[in-house]
Structure 1
């Protein structure tokens, strides 16, 4: 029997991060279908022209195309009530177009913090802060 409440939510987020780290777009898409509500409120610095779970899928399509070896390391999580906060370090090698930049072959490392709200075991809200400035500097798109 799955753990109840906050422990279950943290376990779900860990399973989601495992899927993301698979590097397989199909696995990520299936994980979003399983763990994320279709009408999830997705508020992060990723203007994708979509909403809900479809926006999240598009973000991961773009990231996996640009950084096929992308890897999210969860540095710490804080769980309280219906929310899980995840502070992560992300690494990846720029092998595909990203934000208008052709592939550079450079490796990026950046930080992000996300707050996930859960309802009935599924992610219903995602709010995030991603250090896009660090990404773009490391890719040479902005001065260091």
Structure 2
């Protein structure tokens, strides 16, 4: 049976994903400020050089420039205690430089799974697995 905490945390995650799917960089940055702790611990394939919410902002800056139509579809969420797990499908069109690749105009579809830990209603830790191999194959950066 869901608790108020798990229900609230899941709702927060859905609001965050809604902002991400806006495609508007300012909306995404504001959502990070609202829903993510400034010192969030971020364990995922991210650009090195920043930590905390700044690293997450850098990730979304790169993604929005490379895939301006990026869309994260939440396939399922599971919540327990202070954690929410989200299995997602990500789609987008490669319109800007990404990982050293010039824009290809190719569409990508790949999966990801993230575990979000919440503290006081904000995302305090993120652990993620992103299918970058599929993404890079679809962009032609790796052989099929």
TM-score normalised according to structure 1 size: 0.97
Does the residue aligned with 1:18 lie in a helix, a strand or coil?
A: helix
What RMSD, in angstroms, separates the aligned Cα atoms of the two structures? 0.9
Deviation of residue 48 (structure 1)? 3.2
Residue of structure 2 equivalent to 1:13: 13
Structure 1 runs (4+) deviating above 2 angstroms are none
Matched, 1:138 2:138: yes
Q: Which moved more, 1:42-51 or 1:89-98?
A: 42-51
Residue of structure 1 equivalent to 2:43: 43
Does the residue aligned with 1:98 lie in a helix, a strand or coil?
A: coil
Deviations 1:21-41, CA, capped at 9 Å, x for gaps:
000000000000000000000
Residue of structure 1 equivalent to 2:106: 106
Q: d(CA) in 2 for partners of 1:58 and 1:139? A: 21
What are structure 1's unaligned runs of at least 5 residues?
none
Q: Is the 8 A contact 2:47 2:58 kept in 1?
A: no
Residue of structure 1 equivalent to 2:69: 69
What are structure 2's unaligned runs of at least 5 residues?
none
Q: d(CA) in 1 for partners of 2:55 and 2:47? A: 9
Residue of structure 2 equivalent to 1:116: 116
TM-score normalised according to structure 2 size: 0.97
